[in-house]
């Protein structure tokens, strides 16, 4: 089957109100497909779900060791964070450690999604800056690699050594040649890959402990950092953070814009990648939760799971009015 399949639905009263279609793949540690839905060969932009891949050169280049980066730095390099104080304070300190400042970032300003941070800016009559950008941790990683390489400050240019290193990491871990790139919301190049390639990369991350090469060691460190610091990878109320906490270290997961989601599951040596075709985040959150439940690493009745899968919808007065749930037959 090459067409997307129903993955997530919203029911209200007796009617199916909305239906979200998508593609998904699970790969094992040999890179083979264990299970797929829709078209595993679908070419997508992985968006922020690829941040772990983009962060590999941070370690393999020797930059992380040179600048004494810890697990919090590595988690932030993989993060799409809320712009809360726990994120912005660490990003500011990272830049200071490099002898750099906010103006050296190239991600652009973004209003924080963390309500306390947003209210604080309003009360102070201040405006968001680039440190609030949800990708500022990734960009600190890029700056660290650029400084270590002695490369120029325009680290987002497609021919810059930092971006060429990120491309090499993607192609090596997916075992594919990227057909093209687009510009991400943070202005960085985002290299396209197939969905099965992305799942293959996540399985490569998941099985990294089985190998002893430098890139695999980097993959293992990044996965462990995400699992150790789920609050830095996203933030309170976010699916990445809450579901990783619910799994108690059994998996690392990462969302990407336009309804991409990936999972790294070391204990099973498998990787998961999915894409909801209409780009709706609520649908990708439900779909990844359903797959994680089916793989036995997430409890279906955990309170965090029930925020995203089989999630009751309420009216403004608190009346139960609907449910977001996996579509019938998915993911079995």
Which positions of the chain have pLDDT values less than 70? 1
Q: Which of 83, 77, 91 is nearest to 132 (CA)?
A: 83
Task: Tell me what pLDDT residue 332 has.
Answer: 86
Domain assignment of residue 332, yes or no: no
Residue 39 phi, psi (nearest 5): -105, 105
Domain assignment of residue 300, yes or no: yes
Task: Tell me what pLDDT residue 1 has.
Answer: 64
Domain assignment of residue 175, yes or no: yes
Domain count, the chain: 1
The strand ranges marked E within 38-191 are 43-44, 181-183, 189-191
**Containing structural domain, residue 204:** 5-326
CATH code assigned at 142: 3.40.710
Domain assignment of residue 247, yes or no: yes
Domain assignment of residue 19, yes or no: yes
Cβ atoms of 60 and 47 within 8 Å: the answer is no
Domain assignment of residue 69, yes or no: yes
pTM of the entire structure? 0.97
Q: How far is CA 150 from CA 67, 73, 141, 164, 168, in A?
A: 14, 20, 14, 15, 19
Cβ atoms of 282 and 72 within 8 Å: the answer is no
Domain assignment of residue 142, yes or no: yes
Letter string b/e over residues 138-148, b meaning 16 or more CB atoms within 10 A of that residue's CB:
bbbbbbbbbbb
């Amino acid at each position: 089957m090459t067409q997307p399949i129903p993955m997530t639905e919203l029911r209200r009263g007796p009617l199916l109100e909305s239906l979200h279609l998508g593609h998904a793949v699970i790969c094992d540690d040999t890179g083979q497909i264990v299970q797929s839905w829709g078209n595993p060969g679908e070419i997508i932009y992985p968006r922020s779900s690829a941040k772990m891949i983009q962060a590999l050169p941070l370690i393999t280049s020797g930059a992380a060791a040179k600048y004494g980066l810890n697990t919090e730095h590595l988690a932030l390099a993989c993060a799409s964070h809320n712009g809360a104080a726990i994120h912005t304070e660490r990003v500011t300190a990272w830049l200071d450690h490099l002898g750099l400042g906010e103006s050296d970032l190239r991600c652009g300003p973004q209003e924080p999604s963390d309500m306390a941070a947003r209210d604080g800016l309003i009360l102070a009559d201040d405006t968001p800056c680039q440190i609030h950008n949800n990708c500022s941790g990734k960009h600190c990683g890029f700056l660290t690699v650029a400084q270590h390489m002695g490369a120029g400050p325009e680290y987002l240019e497609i021919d810059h050594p930092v971006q060429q290193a990120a491309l090499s990491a993607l192609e090596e871990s997916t075992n594919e040649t990227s057909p093209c790139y687009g510009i991400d919301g943070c202005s960085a190049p985002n290299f396209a890959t197939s969905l099965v390639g992305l799942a293959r990369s996540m399985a490569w991350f998941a099985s990294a402990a089985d190998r002893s090469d430098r890139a695999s060691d980097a993959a293992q460190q990044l996965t462990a950092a995400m699992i150790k610091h789920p609050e830095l990878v996203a933030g309170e109320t976010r699916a990445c953070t809450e579901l990783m906490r619910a799994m108690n270290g059994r998996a690392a997961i990462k969302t990407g814009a336009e309804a991409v989601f990936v999972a790294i599951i070391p204990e099973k040596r498998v990787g998961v990648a999915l894409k909801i075709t209409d780009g709706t985040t609520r649908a990708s959150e439900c779909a990844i939760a359903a797959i994680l439940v089916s793989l036995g690493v997430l409890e279906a009745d955990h309170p965090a799971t029930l925020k995203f899968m089989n999630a009751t919808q309420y009216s403004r007065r608190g009346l139960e009015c609907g449910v977001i749930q996996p579509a019938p037959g998915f993911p079995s």
